[in-house]
């Protein structure tokens, strides 16, 4: 069981690390958001899964409650993370940040 928890943590931390690396690597706000939202959500799913596994493996009332709360936190994370990214992207576009190196921009043509 311990090994499973370590593996889950390992995968989670790898993807979270890649997400922060993407922030440095990509050229503009939209491409950076790709890295920042996808990788951190996916990484956090695995770290939360490790907490859930720990809670159920350890057993007992308080640890079961911990696991259940982690599940609810996971659902909240899945709902709010993309919504936040969407809000940032929309705000960036409305305040005039154009996507760099873009080959096509339909939103520009609309206005």
Partner 1 sequence: MLVFLATSLVAYVLYLILTMFTGSVGLWSTGELIAGAVLSLIAGAIAYRVAFEKERKGEKNSLRVLNPLRFILFLGYLVGPFFIAMARANIDVAYRVITGKIRPGIVKISPNLKTDLGITLLANSITLTPGTLSVDVDEENGDLYVHWINVKNPEPSPEEVCGSFPYWARRIAE
Q: Measured between alpha carbons, how far is 10 from 109 in angstroms, rounded to an integer?
A: 44
Within 13 Å and on the Cβ side, how many CA atoms surround 83? 6
Q: Measured between alpha carbons, how far is 23 from 17 in angstroms, rounded to an integer?
A: 10
What is the token pair recorded at 103? 């080959």
Angle at 39 between CA 37 and CA 41, to 5 degrees: 65
To partner 1, the closest distance from the beta carbon of 33 in angstroms equals 6
CB-nearer residue toward partner 1: 5 or 20: 20
To partner 1, the closest distance from the beta carbon of 29 in angstroms equals 10
**What residue ranges bind partner 1 (CB under 8 A)?**
15, 18, 21-22, 25-28, 30-31, 33-35, 37-39, 41-42, 61-62, 64-65, 68-69, 72, 78-79, 81-83, 85-86, 89-90, 93, 99-108, 110
To partner 1, the closest distance from the beta carbon of 3 in angstroms equals 21
């Amino acid at each position: 069981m311990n090994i499973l928890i370590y593996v889950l943590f390992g995968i989670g931390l790898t993807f979270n690390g890649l997400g922060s690396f993407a922030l440095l690597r990509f050229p503009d706000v939209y491409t950076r958001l790709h890295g920042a939202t996808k990788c951190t959500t996916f990484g956090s799913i695995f770290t939360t899964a490790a907490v859930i596994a720990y809670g159920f493996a350890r057993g007992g009332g308080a640890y079961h409650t911990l696991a259940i709360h982690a599940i609810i936190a996971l659902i909240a994370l899945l709902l709010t993370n993309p919504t936040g990214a969407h809000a940032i992207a929309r705000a960036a576009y409305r305040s005039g940040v154009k996507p760099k190196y873009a080959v096509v921009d339909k939103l520009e043509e609309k206005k």
